[in-house]
């Protein structure tokens, strides 16, 4: 799952002042969890970005994308 495009939109919204502090804290927390799981999975896959993502990474990506989609 690719979180790049939703994260770019989110970062652009921050710079525009359209994101509340609460939204920023929630997204940043979830992104940190996702990124840590992603990095760990990538290391376990010997940096093979084509390796299948583990269930926890998919779950966190889904959660992150869901949170990002709720932000106008």
This prediction has a pTM of: 0.85
The predicted-structure confidence for 38-55, as pLDDT tens digits, reads as follows 999 999 999 999 999 999
Q: What is the pLDDT of residue 18?
A: 83
User: Domain for residue 14, yes or no?
Assistant: no
> Is residue 64 domain-resident?
yes
Number of domains in the chain: 1
Please give the pLDDT value at position 1: 64
Inside any domain, residue 62: yes
1 vs 59: CA distance, rounded Å: 10
How far apart CA 25 and CA 22 sit, in angstroms, is 5
With respect to residue 13, please indicate whether it lies within any of the assigned structural domains. Answer: no
In a domain, 38, yes or no: yes
Low-confidence ranges of the chain (pLDDT < 50): none
Indicate whether 63 belongs to any domain: yes
Residue 71 is predicted with a pLDDT of 83
Expressed as residue numbers, the domain containing 38 is 1-6+20-43+50-72
């Amino acid at each position: 799952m690719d979180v790049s495009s939703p994260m770019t939109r989110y970062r652009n919204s921050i710079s525009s002042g359209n994101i509340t502090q609460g939204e920023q804290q929630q997204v940043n927390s979830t992104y940190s969890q996702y990124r840590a799981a992603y990095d760990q999975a990538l290391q376990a896959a010997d940096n093979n970005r084509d390796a299948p993502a583990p269930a926890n990474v998919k779950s966190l990506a889904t959660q992150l994308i869901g949170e990002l989609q709720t932000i106008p």
